Chain A
Amino acid sequence: MTHLGLLRAVAANSFQFSRTDAGFIAEAFEAVVSFILNLPWIALEFLQVNAKPLTQVILLPGLAFVLVFAIIAVWFERKFLARAMLRVGPYYCGKRSGLLQVFADFLKLFMKEIIVPKDMDFMFFAAMPVLVSTLPAMAMILIPFDSNWVLWDIGSLSLPMFFAIAGLAPLLPIFAGWAANNKYSYIGAFRVAYMYISAEIPLVICAAAVAIMAGSFDLLKIVEAQQGMWFAVPQFLGFAIFFLGVIIESERTPFDIPVAEVELVFGWRTEYSGILFGFTMMAEYVLFQAWTLMFITLYLGGFNGPVLLGMTTASHIFWLLAKFAALVVLIILIRCVFPRLRLDQMLNLGWRTLTPLAVLNLVFVLALKVLGVY
């Protein structure tokens, strides 16, 4: 009897337990014993069947990737900014490298008191940081790392699905800002609302142009269509718009208007304390990660690149990660050289500049398509 048989037996007889049924009890006992004895084999079978998805969930687009990226990115950002400021940055923590600084901060945040101010919707309040850091991670499972390394391959639905999941993310800061019952959080939440709507529309139009050029909504097909030439070359306009959009969506410096420290303390994050604040910090990096990967997939050829040492999958993953690292450095560098824009300037940029240019880009792509260049 397998474990499935046991479950079936339990389900069938669970309502009849009051009846003394010696046969059933003996059967159940036997099933339990055989289940325990067979546990290693069951586990092995499970692993054999699900080896690849499990690796993907635990390692690459999944947990380890998110966590390791957050740790390295925070460390790198602090060190890199410190160099720009002619400083050293975190130093003594972790044998004079500062590498363990992030661990120290997170461990400490776990040990801090979580403050619940009066008149606040606590469940709502506490759920938002967790959700806001997991939703973009969910969107990341759609990104193809290789033609056979896609965690959730849903074919031609993958590009719309990414926007559907990632588009939910801005709702959460709005809820969080409302739940915190603080004026600064409230203003920050409304800034989030204004900003994301103005940024998301050009992003969607640009993505549509890419889909038209590739002839499919399937991210895998989009990547394959870029084998000869990256879409960044014919669609330079879209490339530039999407790059700005990535910075806006991940709330990086020229556009970190909702959490503007010098104006709004921390915007919608002001009231979070302890580990909840840690989650909101984490969310910034996860969002950043998801949108940067999407940017690479759409414009920079995704995982395309020369095959190294005959290992196709490994070299594809390597190329994607290499492009990702380069973009991360570039976006962190931007933080060193630009002040923050004002909300009205940002909205002008979004509605009056980026949206018309995105439409222009779309028209250009359509023309290319009609003329048969692509």
Chain B
Amino acid sequence: MLEETKEPKRNFESVPGAKAVYSLVDYVAGWARKYSIWPIHLVTGCCGPEFMQTSGSEYDMERLGVLPFASVRQCDCIMVVGVVSRKMAIRVKYLYEQMGEPKYVVAVGACPTGKGPFYDSYAAVAIDEYVPVDVYIPGCPPRPEAIINGMMLLQEKIRKEKRIGVKE
């Protein structure tokens, strides 16, 4: 059985003003991490072109500080774009394990969420069987507005975290 994780004691909470300092630090940390989500270059399936349009000129995800990166070591977020086969799902899991904490997963499209139009396929899987997913974005493919909305939901989620990397 898993032990219940306890909040570590904060020793200086009785000191006057400590709460204000804590909340300021939390605010700055949340702000910095919110505006600096680096997803990895990984297109698993067919929502790729729409993802390209979203990071392209008309919708421009870099406005939100979302900057796709090449190597998984520097990234914060996997955007699972499109259908995931069994062969790919293992790779997604590897990548998730190679990524530094704190890390997030966004499932873009109907296929990684729940197989979508390939519901009766023998090879497609839903990605949440392999890695924990933070945000699901529906659609086949989702419109760029939907993808940006999903990223903003992830930003809110990151900002509201009590401590770095500890999800609610």
Contact = CB atoms under 8 A, between A and B. Distances in A.
Direct contact of A and B (CB under 8 A): yes
B100 A113 contact: yes
A272 B73 contact: yes
Interface string B20-32: 0000000011011
Given A88-B63, A93-B65, A113 B71 contact: no
B63 A115 contact: no
B62 A271 contact: no
A6 to B, nearest CB: 35
Contacts of A85: 57
Contacts of A274: 100
A114 B100 contact: yes
A186 to B, nearest CB: 14
B71 A101 contact: no
Contacts of A266: 70-71, 74
Contacts of A82: 60, 62
Contacts of B57: 85-87
A216 interface: no
Interface in A80-118: 82, 85-93, 98, 100-101, 103-105, 107-109, 111-115
A91 B28 CA distance: 18
B138 to A, nearest CB: 24
Interface residues of A, number: 35
Contacts of B76: 108, 112
Contacts of A271: 71, 73
A108 B32 CA distance: 6
A81 to B, nearest CB: 10
A223 B62 CA distance: 42
B101 interface: yes
B123 interface: no
A361 interface: no
Nearest to B74: A277
A181 interface: no
A134 interface: no
A92 B64 contact: yes
A277 B72 CA distance: 12
A108 B70 contact: no
B73 A115 contact: yes
Interface string B34-71: 11100000000000000000001100101111000011
18 contacts: A82-B60, A87-B62, A88-B63, A89-B60, A93-B35, A101-B36, A104-B35, A104-B36, A105-B32, A107-B29, A108-B32, A108-B76, A112-B101, A113-B102, A115-B100, A269-B71, A273-B73, A277-B73
Interface of B: 28-29, 31-36, 56-57, 60, 62-65, 70-71, 73-74, 76, 98, 100-102, 164
